[in-house]
Structure 1
Amino acid sequence: MILPGVGAILALLMQVLEKFPHIYNYPDRLNESNAKQFYVHSRKLLNQLKNICLIFFALILLESIVIAMGWGNGFGKWFLPIVIIGMGIPIASGIVTQKNKITTIR
């Protein structure tokens, strides 16, 4: 019951953070003309990360059930690299998008 509880708390906290994008740390080029773009981008990125985290928590829970039932041996050595890559790609693409595509009108 710990794993679903941690997943639920994580989803709840990320949902709350998604509602308040103005409290995040932004670069100095944030101003009134591009604040909406920054906020929308940050909310989308946090939403993607929340969904990916919940998918990984569900997969880990499913793996625990499969092992407990004696139906398999687990995911193996490729699960951790897949998790790291799965979390890293949205973060890297979000940084690149925020750095290059959000306009800086002053």
Structure 2
Amino acid sequence: MNAQVLKQQLMALAIYDANDTSLTVEECAAFLGKSYVTIIRWIDQKKIVAVHNKSSYSIPKIQFLDKIIEKFKEESEKETTEFIVELDIEGQVKKALKNIFKEAV
């Protein structure tokens, strides 16, 4: 399977998960890197859509789709960079070993 197809399938899975998930205030705060109080304030200010269920909120994750895609791209780029670095190190090690064995012969 080519890397581009795999990347698209993972993106589709992330979007499906976002569409099928609700967050608590605590989870939303962690996801957005904000405080509990900020999330409550944003709910009150209608900056975040939330459904009040008795004593808690249910926050649809799909409203953060842009953030999900941004995080996916960042993670994908980081993993690609780490993979390239690993390949480069592996290549350097192989090259060094070849040189050592050449000198030994």
TM-score between the two structures when normalised by the length of structure 1: 0.44
Larger relative contact order (CA 8 Å, sep ≥ 6): 1
TM-score by length of 2: 0.45
Larger Rg belongs to: 2
Q: Which has the higher strand share?
A: 2
